[in-house]
Amino acid sequence: MKTTAAGVRFTPALRTLTALLGAGAFGLGALAVFATSNGTGAAALIVFGGVLLLLALLGSHVESLEFGGATLRLRAAAAERFALAEESERQGDIAAARQLRAEARTLLDAAGPIAADYSSVRGSMRPGAARTQALEEVIARARRLAQGQSFESAEVLRWLREGTDEERITALAMMQARPELRNFEATLAAITDPRTPFEQYHALRLAVQMVDELERGQAKRLAEAVERQRGMRFRRDADRARLREEILRKVRGRT
């Protein structure tokens, strides 16, 4: 499992600890089904325990699984951080444990309805204004999540560079909301080689926000990139054409 949360590799010892935690959570959840009326809590324990057990069983291979796509990977990353938090707490590092748990909760937030809703909207609605509006509402939630929680810039960058469509658009939204998460090269790549027009639109929106802070050479490369898109992708899309012109105007204004 790839992570930079605390510079700790997913070692055999950590996999054993993860398995124990997963078995405990799964067992408590199963017991709670019969012993309490809190069905939601019991289900959450069972799901969390199952993810921990899966992570312990597959270790680094869980990154390549596509069962649930982005959601599984994000939940697996969260499960690993919970396990790291337990290990840090056992070693007496309470501050690190608290930070790791906060990161884990944030990853669970990102793994939940945002990625699922984005995929659901794209898959269930026909292209058009209504679908675009629904997708924009999902993206707005990703921005609010970034504003209210702490994310590691390397993790968000990895989503944009290597992630699924859901991860990439979530990363762009988070970068729009938090300047410290932004990366010029990844944003430029999303403009020149997007997976969807919607992704390119949000990469352009992000570039508009970044122009004033770019180095001269970066600003020139950005202007050249959006100029090359003229007539190729923007011919029938007034919104992207408007953003292209705004980027060019800002770049010219710097000289």
- Residue-wise pLDDT tens digits, 90-143: 888 888 888 877 777 666 655 556 767 787 788 888 888 888 888 898 888 888
Instruction: Determine the Cα–Cα distance for residues 86 and 80; give it in Å rounded to an integer.
Output: 10
- State the Cα–Cα distance between residues 188 and 180, nearest whole angstrom: 17
The Cα–Cα gap between 22 and 110 comes to: 21
Which CA distances in Å does 75 have to 51, 67, 92? 7, 12, 26
Q: State the average pLDDT over residues 233-254.
A: 85
**H-helix or E-strand containing 251?**
helix 238-254
Tell the residue number behind the tokens 């949360």, with chain if given: 5
Distance CA 174, CA 197 (A): 18
> Residue 198, Cα to own-chain centre: how many angstroms?
16
Tokens of 122: 């794209």
Q: Which of 8-22, 78-92, 111-125 has the lowest mean pLDDT?
A: 8-22
* Whole-number pLDDT of residue 97: 83
State the angle between helix axes of 197-210 and 129-148 in degrees (0 to 180), rounded to the nearest 10. 50
Q: Average pLDDT over the chain, rounded to whole?
A: 75
Select the more confidently predicted residue: 3 or 70.
70
